[in-house]
Structure 1
Amino acid sequence: AKITVINSLQNSASMSLFVYEAMCMRDAGYSYEEAVKKLEALRPYGRIIFTTESLDYLTKGGRLVRTAAMITSKLSLRPIIIMKGGEISVGGFFRTRKKAKAKVIEFLCKHFEEPGIDINDYDITVGYCTNNDEAEEFRKEVEEAIKTKLLESGVEFKTRIGVVTACHTGPTAIGAALMPKFDHI
């Protein structure tokens, strides 16, 4: 069997979309070499935008400095974390979970307002850690805001955040991931 190791520059929810695109290429009859080439081209375009209740887990995992976690904890702020191209950045802080989730949706909407980016060329999913009911409600909110159905609305596809990632984000992580469809890159 042929094996090619690809650093996807993705994690969790966007990684699941990356694998989904690989499966779609297989099902569409792409050759091994064509699929590897397409996957390499997809790598920099995946995104994850999520929130969690605190930065404690990211700090304990060595992802953020302790001072940032201490300040946000004392002020009861919820962070927005963005991962693109393998890099993690903070997209802001909000006083309530509801506002933080609304900001995740706003970031998602802004991405699709950029020139040359067509929402129909992307697969989008919700990723969550432990609360399936919250994820279902968030999924509906995202679909309403972006005026399109998420991947899991059309195929059997749900993304729970994996245990290794959850060690860094904590059990309350929830957000959205997007990846260009393989035939639109």
Structure 2
Amino acid sequence: MRTAIMTDTNSGITTEEGKSLGIFVIPMPIIIDDKVYYEGINITEKEFYEALTGGKNLSTSQPSPGEVMDMWDSILESGDYDQVVYIPMSSGLSNSCSAAMGLALEYEDKVFVADNHRISVTMRESVLSAKELADEGKSGAEIKKALEDDAYNSSIYISVNTLEFLKKGGRITPAAAMIGTMLNIKPILTIQGEKLDSFAKARSMKKCQDKMLEALKSEIAGRFSHNDISRLKVGAAGAGLSEEEIENWLGMVKEAFPNAKVFYGPLSASIACHTGPGAVGIGISF
């Protein structure tokens, strides 16, 4: 069985990187002052952050049904693949997954949409695992089942450096944002397979990083204690970080998890729209 793997840029895999990995990647749309841009296609990371911090009106959207189906059709009509497994961002964070599942009904036994309940660095690992299974000759149905069975063997924490963008997105009230800014409070948020929830607060990004690392260590010793620790993968993430900031954060993560596979992945533009620049995150999966 020749099975193609497809995802979106919320996995942290760019369209260009996807080509080198043999993975099909659909870019997430970013709307800037009513004009639609596609991450990695017609807007650079530098241009995105300039718009984000330059007072322009930014919002996110999901790929249109036509864009998704056009990619499915292109893959299937190429003659290189019999099936497609599409891994969008978690259904708990966007309607794009449920929308794709509805579209896939027209592609019986050809397109399989996996609700892997992940995003960013943990979603990236799922996509890479799916590609390994596809290379082994697994069918779309088998890969979808494997991803969904393994979905909750992951955890994500993220801390934002500014409350401005959570306020813009309606996740906190203007009053809470004002008080938090005055007190220099940095919120730590968590994703445990579904929605984004509040986890803790700290007075500096360094304290946030320490809290996130300790939280994951506690989870590994607790709810993940039955997992094979040799399979632990840890992804550090950030939004618009400098090379020095990336190096420092990655160093902290490697020191905290010396025996794990550790890597860094920038947050996608459609995630950074909501976190703002300077956000740092971390995710684990097995």
- TM-score normalised by the chain length of structure 2: 0.56
1:174 Cα deviation from its structure 2 partner: 1.1
Matching of residue 136 in structure 1 with residue 136 in structure 2? no
Distance 2:114 2:220 in 1: 27
The residue that corresponds to 1:50 in the other structure is: 158
Matching of residue 93 in structure 1 with residue 206 in structure 2? no
The residue type equivalent to 1:11 in the other structure is: I
Distance 1:64 1:18 in 2: 31
RMSD value over aligned CA atoms?
1.9
Residue of 230, 253, 268 corresponding to 1:120: 230
The residue that corresponds to 1:163 in the other structure is: 269
Distance 1:32 1:102 in 2: 40
> Could you say what secondary structure the match of 2:152 adopts?
helix
Moved more, 160-169 or 40-49: 40-49
Contact kept in structure 1, 2:165 and 2:275, CA below 8 Å = yes
Distance 1:118 1:59 in 2: 40
Contact kept in structure 2, 1:123 and 1:150, CA below 8 Å = yes
Distance 1:117 1:58 in 2: 34
Matching of residue 82 in structure 1 with residue 193 in structure 2? no
User: Percent same amino acid at aligned positions?
Assistant: 28
Distance 1:13 1:83 in 2: 12
Equivalent pairs, count:
175
Which segments of 5 or more consecutive residues in structure 1 lack a partner in the other structure? 153-157, 181-185
The residue type equivalent to 1:146 in the other structure is: F
Structure with higher Rg: it is: 2
The residue that corresponds to 1:176 in the other structure is: 282
Instruction: Tell me the alpha carbon deviations over residues 14-45 of structure 1, each in whole angstroms, 9 at most, x when there is no partner.
Output: 22222122123223443322211101112223
Structure with more contact order per residue of length (Cα contacts < 8 Å, sep ≥ 6): 1
Contact kept in structure 2, 1:61 and 1:168, CA below 8 Å = yes
Alignment of 1:22-37 (within 5 A): 22-37=130-145
Q: Structure 1's 17 and 65: CA in aligned 2 closer, same or farther, altered over 3 A?
A: farther
- TM-score normalised by the chain length of structure 1: 0.84
Contact kept in structure 1, 2:156 and 2:284, CA below 8 Å = yes
> Could you say what secondary structure the match of 2:161 adopts?
coil
Distance 1:65 1:18 in 2: 34
The residue that corresponds to 1:155 in the other structure is: none
The residue that corresponds to 1:183 in the other structure is: none
Distance 1:68 1:120 in 2: 42
Distance 2:166 2:190 in 1: 13
The residue that corresponds to 1:39 in the other structure is: 147
Instruction: Tell me the alpha carbon deviations over residues 94-117 of structure 1, each in whole angstroms, 9 at most, x when there is no partner.
Output: 111111111111111111111324
Contact kept in structure 2, 1:93 and 1:100, CA below 8 Å = yes
Distance 1:41 1:101 in 2: 30
1:118 Cα deviation from its structure 2 partner: 4.0
The residue that corresponds to 1:12 in the other structure is: 120
Q: Structure 1's 63 and 8: CA in aligned 2 closer, same or farther, altered over 3 A?
A: farther
Contact kept in structure 1, 2:111 and 2:140, CA below 8 Å = no
Alignment of 1:104-115 (within 5 A): 104-114=212-222, 115=225
Distance 1:103 1:86 in 2: 21
